[in-house]
Amino acid sequence: MCGRFTQYSDIPSIAKRFGVQDGLIRVADGSPRFNIAPSSPILAVRLDSDGQRELVRLKWGLVPHWSVEPKTGYSTSNAQAESVDSKPAFRAAFKRRRCLIPADGWYEWQALPDQKAKQPWYYRGQQEAILAFAGVWDRWEQGSQVLESCTVIVCDANAIARPVHDRMPVILGEETWHDWLDPNLPTETAKAMLRTCPESWVRSYPVSRAVSFTRNEGPQLVEPLAPDPVR
């Protein structure tokens, strides 16, 4: 799955990577995030009403527009690639409100023999490239209350991630971003884009168990435990 990830690249770097013009950056420059958990505000790229890419903040954990209350939780922080087009919580958003979620990497936890505490692993792009997670977003309104939220779509893990977890975020290549964001793209075409990324796109290594506690933040969380643990 994807229950914790990072967004520590600065706003100008993210905007440049995703082709967002200066006037369409809708967020103030914020602090780098090394331990993002569901219900947190996260950066996302979507199309505005004029069809231009904009950089916004959305709450992680999708609240459907038809929800009675604006609650988010772990249950909607991820959507399964196989069912995102049919699950009631996601299907309307999947049709016309797809987004890209910039990520420097994500974490998964490995169960170890004879150990109660799991070992966290960090997954990041090769050459430290900013990754693009596939996501969908929705807008909930009730009177003067407005909440925009999103989910990360997950798929079968590749050979790099599979030893730790059988699922991973859908990572989209740059050549697919334009089509993915297009609200007029047929649903079946969008769903066909939800594939496991090549192993060559990511690398992984074990990190400190400090990341297991959401109160912890900082670049030390993504430092490898061993001198050369990359596989």
Neighbours of 228 (CB within 10 A): 7
Contact yes or no for 211/35 (Cβ under 8 A): yes
CA dist 157 and 15 (Å) reads 28
**46 touches 181 (CB < 8 A):** yes
Between CA 103 and CA 52 the distance in angstroms is 21
Catalytic residue check, 54: no
Catalytic residue among 54, 69, 99, 108: 108
Catalytic residue among 2, 99, 155, 197: 2
User: CA 127 to CA 197: how far, in whole Å?
Assistant: 16
* Residue 197: active-site member: no
Cα 126 from Cα 137, distance rounded (Å) = 27
Pair 44, 7: CB distance under 8 Å: no
Cβ burial of 45 (10 Å; 0-12, 13-18, 19+) is buried
> What residues are labeled active site?
2, 108
